[in-house]
């Protein structure tokens, strides 16, 4: 989702392929690529490097005050710095390094996103590790394991790019050797097993390779890497926790931390919801379209029954799995946990907002003749109204409801993509109005990214409450619902001074100011300033300024990248 456009222009569909591979690797094209994209990529690397430097400073302070595995974490920072430098070079040289498979199935952007795909996940996990230490005086070994998983995956991915060896099952042995060497050379034997490392790397590569092809033109390489890592960690954690619950986990795997019932239902629900598009893959190929701009006739009766059967199968898996992990029937858990006054009030509040605001959005956009980019941001403001107030009142309900909404959106997207009667075509017609050039793949993911972006900082942060809980939990809402939306509105209507590409100074200032003002409700740093304590407030200002800069620079999906980055740097600010 872009902000800060100086003028409104009709969005034209980009046709694929954009350029022949031979031309994309020719010297004139590479020279133009370096000349045009070099400054943007280096600026993006500088913003991400700021987060890395911040991690280094916080870690040095942590070493003084508490006994933590300092040498291992310092080595992790060194590897992350290497990924930052290597990722920057690989992003600049992407036309010559990426495989034909990656070029064919990636969404057309000038920036492949390799840098973001390599370093953003380790930055997020590192910040989670440090804020737990700073605010809760605890060091999570499980988070520590995932930090090293992300570094190993990033290292093997970068090495394969440099060697120009794309991943396939035939070349998987190369990854296996690389992972084994890293496990032996790095100090990892004490925290997890080689089997765990191999499983994570293999699952990541399978998801990246086949998911990229199945959802062709939906992601850049960097976005696909982010999603593949997230899904791989979710799947492995669900598998290990289920085996642990059944008493089947043995020594080679890390100790699985306990979790509350809502986390269990949330995780199994997300896993089950992702099964539906996977099971529907044959239907997508037979009856779907390669782009959401083409609306197919209604799905015939027999395939429609097959889709309903797959949906029922996924629902049954969810019910049986959660019943096993909760040690009680799911409907009883819902009755005892969710049917309480506080959660019912929240549900009624959300229902009223949806009934009133959703039908109003297209009417307001039409009546005020809003540009498409501004009309899309109306739903960002709706997200603020729905989620920000509830975070002060019922955090557990918000945590679970994000997952329910993502699952529902995945089901609705399958209904739209297949034109399942009677709702498929009306949904497709409604959504076609809001498509932009990033919605060229089989599935429309922008609205799912918006929900995920709001949810991820809350899901990632520690379950234990702390002083920064509200701010970090709402990092996605602030970055997307406030900052990105205000940047797009101000930049597209008032913007005149271009700073990066089509992004304007006015739009970027609006991002920074709006996030800073609205976030006053989510933290107490301004009160700390009145008491003469400036560290946290300065850190928060730097975090917000860096996020506004990243919003102006990056060509990756804002809904995915900005919340992760803002949540990470807000966590680092809280460490002060």
Predicted confidence (pLDDT) per residue in 57-114, tens digit: 998 887 655 667 778 889 999 999 999 999 999 999 988 888 888 888 888 888 889 9
* Structure token pair of residue 103: 């070029």
On the question of pLDDT at 7 being above 50, the answer is: no
**CB atoms inside a 10 Å sphere around CB 366:** 11
Over residues 479-508, mean pLDDT = 86
CA 143, CA 132: separation in Å to the nearest integer?
10
On the question of pLDDT at 13 being above 60, the answer is: no
In a domain, 521, yes or no: no
Per-residue pLDDT tens over the stretch 181-219? 998 888 888 888 888 899 999 999 999 999 888 888 888
User: Among the residues of 164-193, which ranges form H helices?
Assistant: 172-185
| Phi and psi, residue 249, nearest 5° | -75, 135
Per this entry, what is the length of the chain? Answer: 576
pLDDT of residue 405: 92
On the question of pLDDT at 24 being above 80, the answer is: no
Highest mean pLDDT among 6-15, 142-151, 459-468: 142-151
pLDDT of residue 525: 84
pLDDT of residue 548: 94
Q: For 299, which DSSP code?
A: P
Per-residue pLDDT tens over the stretch 107-135? 888 888 999 999 999 999 999 999 888 87
pLDDT of residue 289: 79
Highest mean pLDDT among 228-232, 286-290, 366-370: 228-232
Which of 320 and 503 is assigned the larger pLDDT?
Answer: 320
CA distances from 506 to 327, 436, 495, 544 (A): 55, 22, 5, 16
On the question of pLDDT at 304 being above 90, the answer is: yes
Burial of 326 (0-12, 13-18, 19+ CB in 10 A): middle
Over residues 554-559, mean pLDDT = 90
In a domain, 207, yes or no: no
Per-residue pLDDT tens over the stretch 536-554? 889 999 999 999 999 999 9
User: Among the residues of 394-534, which ranges form H helices?
Assistant: 395-418, 424-432, 446-460, 469-473, 475-476, 485-494, 505-518, 525-530
Over residues 553-572, mean pLDDT = 93
In a domain, 141, yes or no: yes
Is 438:498 a contact under the CB 8 Å cutoff?
no
On the question of pLDDT at 32 being above 60, the answer is: no
Mean residue pLDDT across the chain: 86
pLDDT of residue 22: 43
pLDDT of residue 379: 84
CA 149, CA 122: separation in Å to the nearest integer?
9
Q: Dump the DSSP string for 375-412.
A: HHHHHHHHHHHHHHHHHTT-HHHHHHHHHHHHHHHHHH
| Percent of the chain topping pLDDT 90 | 46
In a domain, 107, yes or no: yes
Over residues 338-361, mean pLDDT = 90
CA 429, CA 292: separation in Å to the nearest integer?
9
In a domain, 130, yes or no: yes
Domain region containing 69: 36-194
Highest mean pLDDT among 4-8, 121-125, 436-440, 524-528: 121-125
On the question of pLDDT at 519 being above 50, the answer is: yes
CA 114, CA 98: separation in Å to the nearest integer?
10
pLDDT of residue 462: 63
On the question of pLDDT at 429 being above 90, the answer is: no
pLDDT of residue 255: 77
pLDDT of residue 83: 97
In a domain, 101, yes or no: yes
On the question of pLDDT at 407 being above 90, the answer is: yes
Q: What's the predicted TM-score (pTM) here?
A: 0.90
Which of 418 and 65 is assigned the larger pLDDT?
Answer: 418
In a domain, 399, yes or no: no
Is 510:489 a contact under the CB 8 Å cutoff?
yes
CA distances from 334 to 265, 273, 343, 359, 405 (A): 10, 18, 11, 30, 16
In sequence order, the 6+-apart residues with CB closer than 8 A to the CB of 540 are 471, 519, 523, 525, 570, 573
In a domain, 176, yes or no: yes
CA 486, CA 479: separation in Å to the nearest integer?
10
CA 387, CA 281: separation in Å to the nearest integer?
33
Q: Dump the DSSP string for 344-387.
A: HHHHHHHHHHHHHHHHHHHHHHHHTT--HHHHHHHHHHHHHHHH
Over residues 298-327, mean pLDDT = 95
- Hey, CA dihedral for 99, 103, 105, 111, is it positive or negative? positive
Over residues 305-319, mean pLDDT = 96
Q: How many domains does the chain have?
A: 1
pLDDT of residue 244: 87
pLDDT of residue 501: 74
Which of 407 and 256 is assigned the larger pLDDT?
Answer: 407
């Amino acid at each position: 989702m872009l902000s800060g456009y100086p003028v409104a222009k009709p969005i034209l569909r980009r046709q694929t392929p954009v350029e022949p591979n031979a031309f994309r690797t020719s010297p004139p094209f590479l020279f133009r690529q370096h000349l045009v994209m070099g400054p943007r990529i280096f600026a993006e690397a500088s913003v991400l490097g700021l987060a890395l430097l911040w991690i280094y400073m916080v870690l040095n302070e942590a070493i003084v005050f508490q006994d933590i595995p300092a040498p291992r974490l310092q080595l992790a920072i060194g590897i992350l710095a290497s990924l930052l430098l290597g990722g920057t070079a690989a992003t600049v040289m992407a036309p010559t390094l990426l495989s034909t498979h990656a070029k064919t199935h990636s969404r057309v952007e000038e920036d492949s996103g390799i840098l973001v795909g390599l370093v953003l996940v380790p930055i997020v996990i590192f910040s989670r590790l440090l804020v737990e230490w700073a605010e809760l005086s605890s060091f999570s070994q499980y988070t520590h394991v995932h930090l090293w998983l992300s570094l190993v995956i990033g290292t093997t991915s970068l090495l394969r790019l440099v060697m120009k060896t794309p991943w396939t099952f035939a070349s998987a042995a190369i990854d296996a050797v690389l992972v084994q060497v890293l496990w032996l050379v790095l100090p990892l034997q004490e925290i997890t097993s080689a089997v765990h490392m191999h499983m994570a790397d293999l699952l990541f590569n399978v998801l990246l390779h086949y998911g990229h092809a199945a959802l062709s033109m939906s992601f850049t390489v960097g976005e696909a890497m982010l999603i593949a890592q997230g899904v791989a960690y979710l799947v492995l954690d669900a598998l290990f926790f289920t085996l642990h619950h059944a008493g089947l986990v043995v020594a080679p795997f890390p100790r699985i931390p306990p979790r509350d019932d809502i986390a269990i239902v949330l995780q199994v629900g997300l896993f089950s919801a992702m099964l539906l598009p996977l099971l529907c893959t044959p239907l997508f190929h037979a009856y779907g379209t390669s782009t959401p701009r083409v609306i197919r006739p209604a799905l015939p009766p027999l395939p429609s029954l097959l889709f309903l059967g797959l949906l029922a199968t996924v629902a049954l898996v969810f019910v049986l799995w959660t019943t096993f992990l909760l040690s009680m029937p799911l409907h009883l858990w819902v009755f005892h946990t969710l049917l309480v006054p506080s959660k019912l009030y929240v549900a009624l509040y959300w229902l009223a907002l949806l009934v009133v605001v959703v039908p109003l959005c297209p009417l307001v956009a039409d009546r005020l003749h809003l540009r498409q980019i501004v009309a899309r941001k109306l739903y960002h403001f709706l997200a603020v109204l729905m989620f920000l107030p509830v975070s002060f009142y019922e955090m557990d309900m918000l945590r679970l409801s994000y997952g329910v909404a993502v699952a529902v959106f995945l089901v609705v997207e399958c209904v739209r993509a297949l034109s399942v009667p009677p709702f498929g075509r009306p949904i497709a017609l409604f959504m076609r109005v809001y498509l932009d050039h990033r919605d060229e793949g089989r599935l429309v993911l922008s609205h799912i990214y918006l929900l995920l972006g709001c949810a991820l900082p809350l899901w990632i942060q520690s379950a234990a409450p702390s002083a920064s809980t509200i701010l970090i939990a709402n990092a996605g809402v602030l970055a997307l619902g406030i900052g990105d939306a205000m940047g797009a509105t101000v930049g597209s209507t008032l913007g005149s001074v271009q700073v990066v590409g089509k992004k304007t100074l006015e739009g970027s200032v609006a991002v920074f100011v709006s996030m800073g003002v609205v976030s006053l409700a989510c933290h107490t740093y301004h009160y700390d300033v009145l008491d003469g304590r400036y560290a946290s407030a300065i850190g928060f200002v730097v975090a917000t300024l860096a996020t506004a800069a990243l919003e102006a620079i990056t060509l990756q999906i804002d809904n995915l990248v900005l919340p992760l980055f803002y949540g990470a740097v807000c966590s680092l600010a809280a460490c002060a």
